[in-house]
Amino acid sequence: MSKGLTWRISLILLFLVCSVLFLAPTFISNLPSWWSGPFLPKDKISLGLDLQGGIHLVMEVETEKAVEGQLDIIATDVEDSLNAKTLRFKKVSRLGGDRIAIVLYDKGTVSAVENLLKEKYPRLKLLAPFDEGGFINLQMEMSASEIENVKDKSVQQALETIRNRIDQFGVAEPVIQREGQRNIVIQLPGVKDPKRAIELIGKTARLEFKLVDEDVDPASATQGTLSDEDEILNERRVDPDTGAVTEIPYVLKKKTLITGDLLTDAQVRIDSQFNQPYVAIDFNSVGAKLFDQVTAANVGKRFAIVLDNKIYSAPVIRERISGGSAQISGSFTEKEASDLAIVLRAGALPAPVKIIQNVTVGPSLGQDSIRKGLIAGLVGVLLVICFMAFYYKLSGMVANMGMVLNLVFLMGALAAFGATLTLPGIAAIVLLIGMSVDANVLIFERIREELRLGKTAKAALDSGYDKAFLTIMDSHITTLITAAVLFQFGTGPVKGFAVSLSLGVIINLFTSLVGTKVVFDYFLGRVRVKKISI
């Protein structure tokens, strides 16, 4: 056996062994105990939404809220900056969805305030000051282009935040992508609890720490009687024995002292005294310093922990808290605490999202798709095998062997790369059954031509493969380019088709140009066959 033939056979056997190893977890439910080494694959081929069921969501980001939130942050920062510069002002507030108003007591501070605003917020337009009820009114306006920029960034940030939450939720091969200006498409295959997943994805998760206004009685207060600096929020408590839910109102200072943006970690812990779950949170260096300052300045006061305008707890600050750690306790289950920790770790959504489409795909539909896909593939394989054996005789059986290798290598590659198998992916595999012998048909016709010219079997074989090489390469490369375009611009199902098609095209090149020729070379060289059955 020649050195080149030995090398090619060894390469085919290596690919075959690797494919079988990667496919073992998919086809063998109970792997042996020794199958636990670090180098042995353990993951099955992932199935898409259309094969194993799950949920398909289209969510709309309320981008106007993101703009308003950005303006609120700027307004708070303006207020802090004016206080730091000891510039007197009456109030700072947001006007509608594109302006911030700064009300000053006298004209003497206008110039200094304008210089400060121009320096800190060059991207906002400063309007001319005007007198209003004896006070000087300054306004900053957000331009239309800046508003669109904030909206676009809010959708991008929402996309990344949702992806982080789903990754921590543990969904295999989710599809998360932007659609249009403000929509996000989410596909979660195999999700067993759709309601929990939707709540986890859609929670805004804006965490805020605010002081309780102890001077106002929440029992007699209403939103209309409060000052502009206060608001009423409720703490939800659930009785662990009866399950009864009660809401306790608190009057809070509107100003947010610390936000969840300063968190670095959030983990579920169990209280050793009451055996109740809570969420332990850690701040970054800036947050730790701020938390230390806030607790030091407000010892003896109640400090409310607010998530999405709901109070989780409002403990009294007993002492200064250094170190940058705190805890969120409340009457929630361990699963609720786990979900809260997930959304806090992943970060808050920049704006609320609402579901505009919610489709649940049952696993029975997926099983039916798999069954029909397998039947279609089996029928295709049998028809191709019969045709090739009838028309090309023993050479056709060699092509059939290449087709089987093609399928084994393709399924092994899908498992190795962690690709998701979808219904369009199965369609691509069925298509590749025909493509896998198409290259051999070109080669065989070339060999027939060479044999008619009176060449020997070995010379006709080599010439046939050489002359068909460029044609086969051209056709496969153009198909590969098409698959790449489908993957780049297609949606989830189309991408599944493109992945299977791309891998199949690359593998088919190997099996048709190397795999089948090895068989011919072996029999013509080793067994000394003088005639090709073609």
DSSP 409-435: HHHHHHHHTTPEE-HHHHHHHHHHHHH
Give the Å distances, CA to CA, from 134 to 78, 102, 130. 22, 14, 10
Question: Which of 10-24, 164-178, 222-236 has the lowest average pLDDT?
Answer: 164-178
CB 534 within 8 A of CB 428: no
Express as a percent the part of the chain with pLDDT over 70. Answer: 94
- Average pLDDT score over the chain: 83
Least confident of 121-125, 154-158, 242-246, 365-369: 365-369
Of 495, 414, 426, 427, give the one whose Cα is nearest residue 176.
495
Which domains are assigned to the chain?
Answer: 3-52+362-525 (1.20.1640.10), 64-146 (3.30.70), 203-360 (3.30.1360.200)
- pLDDT for residue 366: 61
The yes-or-no verdict on residue 237 having pLDDT over 60 is yes
Which tens digit of pLDDT belongs to each residue from 334-344? Answer: 887 888 888 88
List, for residues 146-158, the tens digit of each pLDDT value: 899 989 988 998 8
Strands 277-283 and 263-270: antiparallel
pLDDT value at position 252?
Answer: 92
Reference 283, options 321, 316, 323, 320; nearest CA is 323
Instruction: Report the DSSP beta bridge partners of residue 233.
Output: 250
Q: With cut-offs at 50, 70 and 90, classify the pLDDT of residue 173.
A: low
In the numeric block, which tokens belong to residue 110? 């206008």
The pLDDT confidence band at residue 348, using thresholds 50, 70 and 90, is confident
pLDDT in tens, 439-488: 888 888 888 888 888 888 888 888 888 888 888 888 889 988 988 888 88
Q: What is the pLDDT of residue 8?
A: 87
Which segments of 109-204 does DSSP mark as H helices, in order?
110-120, 144-169, 194-202
CA 138 to each of CA 67, 79, 286: distance values in angstroms, whole numbers, following the listed order: 20, 13, 31
Amino acid at site 111: S
Can you tell me the mean pLDDT for 218-228? 78
- Give the span between the Cα atoms of 255 and 235, in whole angstroms: 18
Residue 322 in tokens: 């250094």
Say how far apart CA 359 and CA 375 lie, in whole Å.
Answer: 27
DSSP-assigned letter for residue 45: P
Pick 492 or 203 by higher pLDDT: 203
Burial 350-389 (b: 16+ CB within 10 A, else e): bbbbeeeeeeebeeeebeebbeebeeebeebbeebbeebe
Q: How many CA atoms lie within 13 A of 165 on its CB side?
A: 29
Task: Report pTM.
Answer: 0.63
Q: Let me know: does 497 contact 50? Beta carbons within 8 Å.
A: no
For residue range 12-47, list pLDDT tens digits in order.
Answer: 999 999 888 888 888 877 777 777 766 778 777 777
Residues 302-334 have pLDDT tens digits of 988 888 888 888 888 888 888 888 887 776 778
Give the burial class of 128: count Cβ atoms within 10 A of its Cβ; 0-12 exposed, 13-18 middle, 19 or more buried. Answer: exposed
Stretch (H or E) spanning 503 = helix 492-510
pLDDT more than 90, % of the chain: 6
pLDDT in tens, 248-261: 899 998 888 888 87
pLDDT of 363 reads: 63
